[in-house]
Each structure stands twice: as structure tokens, then as C-alpha cells.
Amino acid sequence: MFRLVRSPLHCAEAIFRLSCPRATFSSKPVDHRCSSNRVAAASDAIVRLVAAGGSSLEADLDHLDPALSQSLVSGTLRALTDRGVPASGFFDWLALRRGFSASAAAHNLLVENAGRLADYQAMSRALASMSARRLPLTERAFAFLTLSRGGARDTTIAILRTLDEVGGSCRASGVFSLVKALASIGEFDAAVSVIEGSAMGTRYHNALMAAKCKTGDFRGARELFDEMRRSGCSPNANSWNYLLGCLLKNGRVAEACELVEAMERTELDDIPNSLTYEILAYHSCKAGRMDSAMRIVDQMFLEKLTPRITIHTAFIKGYLYTGRIEDACRYVSDMSIKDRHSVNRNYSLLAKLLCKAGRIAEAGRILYELMEREGLLPDHSAYVRVIKDLHKIGKGDLAAELKLIFQRLSVHSESVR
């Protein structure tokens, strides 16, 4: 059975002492501003044609013959929505263009356009198209709720009716995304009504809890948690972790300790889980309790769990911000054995942070260790930063040595591809 700790004392000791011209093939660098300007100009032209309407829209768009791209289509859809212009005609024309298929993001923007205009027939057609293609609805589709003139509850009822009528694969993703969208704008009553009428799953309640915790409303999140239990919808590890993260983020350490103890009493295999470890380790690092955080990570490795890169970042920054540079270097070196996937990222981050702190020579030695001992190339941005800073402080000899190693590894890397 998975347990967070082997002894109740470990938990308290570990964390809860916290406080322009036409494009051509060229060797010259691409001018992204020109490309962006061309897309914007094409989008403006399309919007003017669609806004003008008329029976010749398809022919007018054919005559314009814009170089279609996903960025152009998305930008045009957003512009049409901002101007309150129906986008269905433009989308119908896109469907006729051979060799181009609008992305899932574009379809969600089409739903948003229909919702912004309260055109539920157009929304129904867009949803049917998405279901046919098995494309998921996202929160973006319901961004118009922030500007709903009829009130969120009335608009939500209309959306649910449309989702139910269309059915298909996008209904489930639509209901879930609708719950998240309502929670994100503080319309919790409307979100609860969606859950009660359409879905009673833990996943949906967790979406509400996440929104409550994001605003620091632990009391509201706990009420939702308790309501889940009363309604027979069992909280899962994510439910508990949302509460834990909210408490620690707001410095409510004693309550967080009690919560972890309650998690341990659940006797479920996946509560606590690996994310629980990461929450504890992250907040320990943030509070400067590096030794406590390290005990948590050691426990993770005992449980054969590998920390994500965010935890390594928290450790490296935590050590540096508390002035423990040697410990930061030792941590990176130790993790090169325990977690090989993080080696390049950890060394590169440490080098950049050392440069930022004015420890240029030490940053150079870190990259030397990465390349010479580990045989790995650093992130290019870290390499460039260190080389430039070494020249600035008169360490050109170390910079030259790093360049030679970098070139040798680059050649080797190319040869094995």
C-alpha cells in the first residue's frame, strides 16, 4: 500500500515548520514581424468581406485567396467575434478549401462566436461538426459567458439544451468545460446546477474546488469537498491535494498537517499520491526548509517515484536563495544519478541562476561538469549566457575551453543521429 510517510513524525518534521515583401526561400533570418503583419492584413481583409455579407461571399473570398494558416483562421475568428459578426459563412468557405482543415482550437472559437451572438442554431451546427470529427470542447468555447447579457444561469440552460440535442462525443467534454468556465468567472451556483443536472462525477466537483482554491477560498472548497461525500461522490487524491495546496499557499500550516494526517487515515492506495509529495516539497523549498524538503524527496525515491522537473527547479532556486550554493551544486550532481531525464535541465538552470547572481566562474564550472563528466550539451541559452559573461569578467580561457568541448559534443551528437 502506498503511504506518504513511514512514521507520523516525518510529515510534521518534513514540512509543517513552514511559514512585408512576398516570402521567398532565403538564408537570411526570417522577419517574424513581416509575417505577423501579413497575417493581420489578410485577417482584416477577410473580416471586412464577411462583415459586408452578401451572396457573393464565397466568390469574394476565393478572389482574395489568402494563404491559409491556423494562426490566420484563429485570428480571423477572434476578430469576427469581437465585432459581433457571425463566423459560420467564413467557416463554411474554409470547409471547401482542399488541403486545409481547421484545428480543434478554431472549432472552439466558432462555438464561442455563436455563443457571443446567442445563435444557438449556429452553435448546434458547430457542435455537430465537432462531434463528427471527435474534437473536444474547451473552456475557450464558453469564454462569451463573461459577457452574457441574459445572465449566466439562463445562458447555461440554453447551452446545456444545445449540448443535449446534439449529443455525440463533444457533449461530455462540453459539460466539463462549461463547469470549468463557469467556475473561472465565479458563477459557482450555475456550475453546481450543471453538475446536479448533467454529471455527478468527482472530476466535475474537482473543477469547482480548483477554482475555489485558486482564489484562496478554502472554506468554499472544503464545503464542496464535504458535499461530495454527502452526495456519495467520493473525493479522490486530486480533491485532497487541492485542499492541501490551498492551505500551504496561504500559510495555514497547522491545518495542512491535520489534513495530511487525515489523508493517511483514508487507507486508500492512491491517497496520498506522488503529487502530494510534490506539493509538500515545493512549499518546503519556498519556505527555505531545504533539509525538510530533501527528506520528502528521499521518501519519493524510496517509493520508486520520480520528481517532476518543477520540483528540481524549486530545490535549485531554494538552495540559491538561501545562500547554499554548494548544496545546490551537490543536489544537481546527485540528481544526475537518480533522475537522468533531468540532468541537462538542472545543470543549465543552475548555470543561468549563478550568472544572474554574479557567480560567473562557478557557472562556467557547472557547464564544464555537465559537458565533460556527463557528456551532455547544455541548453543553448545557458551556454551563450555563460560564454558571454565569462568574457566580460576576463575568463576567456575558460570560455575557450567550454567552446571546444561544446563543439566536440555537437559534432558527436550530429554523427549519431
* DSSP tag of 135: P
Report pLDDT for 417: 62
- Per-residue pLDDT tens digits for 216-249: 999 999 999 998 888 888 899 999 999 999 999 9
Say how far apart CA 319 and CA 170 lie, in whole Å. 46
Question: What was the pLDDT predicted at 9?
Answer: 32
**Residue 18 in this model has a pLDDT that exceeds 60:** no
Least confidently predicted of 14-23, 155-164, 328-337, 387-396:
14-23
Q: In this predicted structure, what is the pLDDT of residue 94? A: 94
Average pLDDT, stretch 290-295? Answer: 92
Q: What is the mean pLDDT of the chain?
A: 87
Q: Tell me the percentage of the chain whose pLDDT exceeds 90.
A: 66
pLDDT at 274: 87
* Packing angle of the helix pair 380-392, 360-368 (nearest 10 deg): 130
Q: Residue 283 CB: number of other CB atoms within 10 A? A: 25
Residue 39's pLDDT band (cuts 50, 70, 90): confident
Structure confidence at residue 99 (pLDDT): 87
Q: How many other β-carbons are positioned within 10 Å of the β-carbon of residue 98?
A: 5
d(CA 221, CA 250): 14
The total number of residues shown for the chain amounts to: 417
Of the candidates 77, 72, 107, 105, the residue with the CA atom closest to the CA atom of residue 90 = 77
Residue 32: is its pLDDT beyond 90? no
Distance CA 413, CA 403 (A): 15
The pLDDT assigned to 3 comes to 45
Identify whether the C-beta of residue 196 lies closer than 8 Å to the C-beta of residue 158.
no
pLDDT greater than 60 at residue 7: no
Identify the band that residue 199 occupies on the pLDDT scale cut at 50, 70 and 90.
Answer: low
Task: Fill in the DSSP letter of residue 29.
Answer: P
Least confident of 3-17, 208-222, 324-338: 3-17
Residues 6+ away with beta carbon under 8 Å from 136: 104, 130, 169, 170, 173, 177
**pLDDT higher than threshold 70 for residue 396:** yes
Helix axes 88-95, 32-52, angle to 10 degrees: 110
pLDDT of residue 392: 95
Residues 354-358: contacts with CB under 8 Å, at least 24 apart: 354/320, 354/325, 355/385, 355/386, 355/389, 357/320
pLDDT band at 112 (very low <50, low <70, confident <90, very high): very high
Q: Is the pLDDT of residue 326 over 60?
A: yes
Across the range 324-351, mean pLDDT stands at 94
Residue 5 has pLDDT above 60, yes or no: no
